[in-house]
Amino acid sequence: MEELKFGLIKGIEVKFVKTDSAIIEAISKKINEPIEKVKIMLRYNVFNINQFMDLSQLADSTIRNKIRPSIIAGELNTELDYCYPFPSSKNDGPLFILRNEKSEKYLKA
């Protein structure tokens, strides 16, 4: 997995991840959605923009600003890492938010 300073992570494979049931329950209560629905959204190592909006309760524009490069702690970086795991022959494909410590802090807030 290659990581660039701008938050774009290349070479991501979409994989199943195990999530602690306490986290699923907490998010379910926070966003007022059934546990099964939250469990499905937390099933993989990436989120699409709509899933991340639902889980984090952040607006679309806020999420897109968090993937835009800016100077953080004196370095050019992003608040959220992102990837394009399904490229087509003509473009990068759909944008996904990488599930890591950066994104999970917004889920637990």
pLDDT digits (tens, 9 = 90+) for 15-59: 999 999 999 999 999 999 999 999 999 999 999 999 999 999 999
Helix or strand (DSSP H, E) at 50: helix 49-56
Q: What is the pLDDT of residue 38?
A: 95
Please report which confidence band the pLDDT of residue 4 belongs to, taking 50, 70 and 90 as the band edges. very low
Q: What is the pLDDT of residue 3?
A: 47
Asked if residue 5 has pLDDT above 70, the reply is: no
- At 52-74, the pLDDT tens digits run 999 999 999 999 999 998 887 78
Please report which confidence band the pLDDT of residue 6 belongs to, taking 50, 70 and 90 as the band edges. low
Asked if residue 2 has pLDDT above 70, the reply is: no
Q: Could you give the C-alpha distances from 49 to 4, 8, 10, 64, in angstroms and in order?
A: 20, 15, 18, 9
Residue 17 structure tokens? 């991840």
Please report which confidence band the pLDDT of residue 1 belongs to, taking 50, 70 and 90 as the band edges. very low
